[in-house]
Homo-oligomer: A and B are copies of this chain.
Amino acid sequence: MHDLGIEMHELIRDLYPICRSLTGNGVRKTLKILQQQIPITIHEVPSGTPVFDWVVPNEWNIRDAYVTNSKGERVIDFQRSNLHVVSYSVPVKERVSLSQLKGHLFTLPDRPEWIPYRTSYYNETWGFCLSHKQFMELKDEAYDVCIDASLEPGHLTFGEYYIKGQSDQEVLISTHICHPSLCNDNLSGVALSTFLAKYLSQFSLRYSYRFLFVPGTIGSIAWLSLKESRIIKIKHGLVIAGVGDSGKSTYKRSRQGNAEIDTVVIHVLKHSGQDFEVLDFTPYGYDERQYCSPGFNLPVGCLSRTPYGRYPEYHTSADDLSFVQPEHLADSFQNCLSVINVLENNRTYVNQQPKCEPQLGRRGLYRAIGGSGDGATAQMAMLWVLNFSDGNHSLLDIAERAGLEFGVLKTAAHALEEHGLLKEVSPSTHSKQPKKTPRRSRKMGRRKRVS
């Protein structure tokens, strides 16, 4: 997992300099780099396309931008940081006084070294962001302002990667891909989703998995609008965002509040051995706002570390390559994998000997399990599974009731199933064995916390 953390961080490093926005070549370039890892399909939606209550905006591209002083020196330079330009700024080339300029400048007086990140997607204007320190050094003179950008009909670009599973019921993994040089806020989710998709693609899975790499808000709205007929297939979903900082994991429940995904993620975090936080659904945040709008009400939660807006580096130049670390990316990855492990294996069984306990000893089920180390827990797990496998409790329900980790119950259930003591309620969505040797010969369905 450590190596994977490093690989994710390296991907972030590659993507970091690109100037992404809602639309434009930055998103395309980003998706092309991801295609080196997984065969993402790139979709282009023309500007002007109506998507529910919205319309796909014009495409924005920027080549260069700067403010020069009377000596011709670039006092603000897009080439040094793409955060310097307010995203979606209209093209401008004019000479302005300091006071005119100030009407277009944004700084963080409390954090004088940091450049803020600002956008103006739906209000045509232009602006520059700079550190408050830079701002304080500006002299009262004339400045030449240049934003060499275009904002004109084009396309909205997003990426989609679909892994076909045994069932056409889907797990949706969505991450936003519309921020320029910000690492935790967008690149951490992009990297984790990419490597998660790459990892899962090695296995034969119960569910199908759909990975979306979309510009925030308009991207998910566009996808929901274009693929509305497919939405019924989505059984579980996660928005992944802000998963590389050093804070504890945070899970925000779906609007449903007690969907299976909610129970699964909270179970995984509870048994992760680390501190975590669970938040109720609110209609603000990342793209779960759209997936959980009342017309869809999809079972989609959001997995983060420190929630957006609660860390000072949020939406500033301090959300840089050092703010996200391989170990935190790896830990978030592991949690996602554990979640998928539970989803893949959370089945409902019926005890085939429901009257009194079956005689486990006669079947060697004590010994069979006794060998695996923690015999007492394994035996209790079998009793829990037998007692509550009445068709109304999934393995996860039983795990929660028993206070045991899901994997222990899964092992117990498999042993009992082999001996004919359990039958799955509706075995239509069984997963089969891996179709090829998984990387590092790790088997899906065997949860292992790798450090």
Contacts and interface: CB of A to CB of B under 8 A. Distances in A.
Interface of A: 51-54, 122-123, 217, 220-221, 224-225, 228, 255, 282-284, 289-290, 292-297, 351, 353-359, 361-362, 380, 383-384, 386-390, 402
Q: Which of A52, A292, A293, A297 has the most B CB atoms < 10 Å from its CB?
A: A293
A296 B355 contact: yes
A217 B361 CA distance: 13
Contacts of A361: 122-123
A376 B356 CA distance: 50
A53 B359 contact: yes
This chain's copy number in the assembly:
3
Contacts of A356: 51-54, 220-221, 224-225, 290, 293, 295-296
A96 B388 CA distance: 48
A353 B217 CA distance: 15
17 contacts: A51-B356, A52-B353, A53-B359, A122-B359, A224-B355, A228-B355, A282-B380, A282-B384, A284-B383, A294-B351, A294-B387, A294-B388, A294-B390, A295-B354, A295-B355, A296-B355, A297-B390
B387 A355 contact: no
A224 B224 CA distance: 56
A297 B386 CA distance: 12
Contacts of A290: 356-357
A295 B228 CA distance: 44
A387 B283 contact: yes
A354 B390 contact: no
B255 A122 contact: no
Nearest to A51: B356
A366 to B, nearest CB: 10
A123 B361 CA distance: 9
A234 to B, nearest CB: 14
B354 A387 contact: no
Q: Which residue among A255, A290, A387, A390 has the maximum number of chain B CB atoms within 10 Å of its CB?
A: A387
A293 B52 contact: no
